[in-house]
Amino acid sequence: MAQESLDRNRQEELRELLSSTAGARPRALLRFLDEVHPADLAEWLLGLGELEQQRVIHALDDEARGELFKYAEDHHAAAYSAELSGRELAATLEKMPTDEGVDLLAELEPSQRDAALREIDDERERDLRDLGRHDPDTAGGRMSPDFATVAQGVRVGDAIKAFKKTDEEVVEDPNGVFIIDDHGCPIGFLSGHDLLTHSIHEVVDDVLEAELVTVGVNDDQEDVAHLMRKYGLESVPVVDPGGVLVGVFSAEDMAEVLEDEVEEDVLKLVGTSPVEQTHLPVSTRVRQRMPLMALTVAAGLVTAWILEASMGSGEGGDASLLRYLPIIIGIAGNVGIQSSTILVRAIATGEVSRGRELSVVGGEVSTGAWIGLLCGAATALFSAWMEGTGGVPAWSFGWSVGCAISAAVLWSSFLGCLVPMLCRKLGLDPAIAAGPFLVAINDVSGAAIFMGVAHLLLASA
């Protein structure tokens, strides 16, 4: 927590430096930026306006910008690059590892990408283009093409020389040397520790220990990550279909893949990505989540129709209302679990800093309100038509059902925010809030609100 408030102070300081007399103190800004870890800067930039972001990007030199882009999400880095010239972009790309550069290029506008590639030196350009050809979901799309190798048959001393020459700017945390045969196929790996614990006169082939596990360039990246986990590997060489070593899949790549998997799993179950939602405009959030909601409403309406067909209509009032209950159980459940999952994750990753709480809850509840309105309107139209008799739509019934749905959805999104926040205030793990208990409360209270509001409106109609 001390760390958190320290970070907030420094973030404030950056904001002041940027706003004070509009960049009239570039030297103070430069001094400040020089001391910030690029990972922190990448995080703080998210909270700044576009003008301020551009001021930071232009204040950084090529190397610092390359560092920043390594830590920022690719699509953010691409947005920050919008005003950079081809020459500036090329210089920044030269300072980034090849695989990170490829990811950034993929996110740029085609015209900007071409401008950058024109300015870059030929060898580097070829590397970038070669690597960019792989499917991003494969080992080839994630690997780094930079690594140290020596030929089989050489001595440990030669391998040490090759290891020493590894450029730390290109290969992050170099940890050893691959031994390759005449065809370029990897036959072993010697770590820095291996190299130091053997005599420099020994032949590398003789000191290789375990059999080398390799993966194919077209292998699915999730399979590679699971393989690394299973065998406890720190990195794994990637070979082309001919068996030639073309890249390295690192522990960091593995961590990224596993994280994407979390996101995908949650996305799949919840119908929206839990990442960075609290920074998105409400309209984007509504747009992202509406497909699932539309599906739920459609399923609920089909259910209502089946129920009406099997029961016959005209029972009127409450029995008709009950046919729309599956819709509210479905949507309210979705909205509640989305809000709570997003909040729990945002709290866990530090996205919800203290002080931002109200705006975060406000954003989620507004999103819920919009979703409620849209789903309520759809249900109102459909139910008025279905419950109508002799071609005359039952408008007052539709209106009541629609309003009841909107009210219940709004309540669910509020509940989905309230429970994790309360847990946090009380010092409990907010994660328990996103569980089945919330769903159960949601179902019961949603159904009660739905019936209550609909009753009230029907009675007054």
Residues 102-141 that bind a second copy (CB under 8 A): none
Our finding on whether 457 is near a second copy (CB under 8 A) is no
Our finding on whether 270 is near a second copy (CB under 8 A) is yes
Q: Of 7, 71, 207, 369, which one interacts with a second copy (CB under 8 A)? A: 71
* Residue of 295, 224, 296, 222 lying closest to 261 (CA atoms): 222
Judged by beta carbon, residue 52 or residue 67, the one nearer a second copy is: 67
Our finding on whether 36 is near a second copy (CB under 8 A) is no
End-to-end CA, the chain: 54
For residue 172, which phi and psi values (nearest 5 degrees)?
Answer: -75, 135
Closest CB 294 distance from a second copy, rounded Å: 10
CA angle 306, 308, 311 (to 5 degrees): 105
Closest CB 304 distance from a second copy, rounded Å: 9
**Is the CB of residue 248 less than 8 Å from the CB of residue 144?**
yes
Q: What does the radius of gyration of the chain's CA atoms come to, in whole angstroms?
A: 29
Judged by beta carbon, residue 71 or residue 395, the one nearer a second copy is: 71
Who contacts 152 (Cβ-Cβ below 8 Å, separation ≥6)?
Answer: 179, 180, 181, 182, 187, 204, 205
Q: Do the bridges between strand 186-191 and strand 235-239 make them parallel or antiparallel, or are there none, so unpaired?
A: unpaired
Q: Of 28, 46, 200, 311, which one interacts with a second copy (CB under 8 A)? A: 311
What token pair was written down for 344? 């729990």
Closest CB 419 distance from a second copy, rounded Å: 13
Q: With CB under 8 A, what is the number of residues at the site for a second copy?
A: 86
Closest CB 346 distance from a second copy, rounded Å: 12
Our finding on whether 262 is near a second copy (CB under 8 A) is yes
Our finding on whether 460 is near a second copy (CB under 8 A) is no
Our finding on whether 376 is near a second copy (CB under 8 A) is no
Who contacts 431 (Cβ-Cβ below 8 Å, separation ≥6)?
Answer: 344, 348
- Alpha helices by DSSP H, listed for 312-435, are 317-322, 325-348, 357-387, 395-425
Our finding on whether 343 is near a second copy (CB under 8 A) is no
Our finding on whether 388 is near a second copy (CB under 8 A) is no
Binding mask 192-231 for a second copy (x = CB under 8 A): xx-xxx------------------------x---x-xxxx
Judged by beta carbon, residue 116 or residue 156, the one nearer a second copy is: 156
Q: Do the bridges between strand 235-239 and strand 215-216 make them parallel or antiparallel, or are there none, so unpaired?
A: parallel
Judged by beta carbon, residue 197 or residue 283, the one nearer a second copy is: 197
d(CA 120, CA 90): 5
Q: Of 101, 300, 416, 420, which one interacts with a second copy (CB under 8 A)? A: 300
Return the number of other C-beta atoms located less than 10 Å from residue 50's C-beta: 11
In the window 347-366, what residues touch a second copy (CB under 8 A)? 348-350
**Is the CB of residue 116 less than 8 Å from the CB of residue 145?**
no
Judged by beta carbon, residue 138 or residue 175, the one nearer a second copy is: 175
Closest CB 84 distance from a second copy, rounded Å: 23
Judged by beta carbon, residue 297 or residue 384, the one nearer a second copy is: 297
Judged by beta carbon, residue 82 or residue 255, the one nearer a second copy is: 255
Q: Of 12, 13, 50, 264, which one interacts with a second copy (CB under 8 A)? A: 264
Q: By CB neighbour count within 10 A (0-12 exposed, 13-18 middle, 19+ buried), where does 309 fall?
A: exposed
* Residue of 372, 398, 385, 400 lying closest to 297 (CA atoms): 372
Closest CB 255 distance from a second copy, rounded Å: 6
Strand partners of residue 238: 215, 247
Position 48, amino acid: L
Closest CB 345 distance from a second copy, rounded Å: 8
**Is the CB of residue 330 less than 8 Å from the CB of residue 296?**
yes
Q: Which stretch binds a second copy (CB under 8 A): 10-18, 56-64, 329-337, 397-405?
A: 329-337
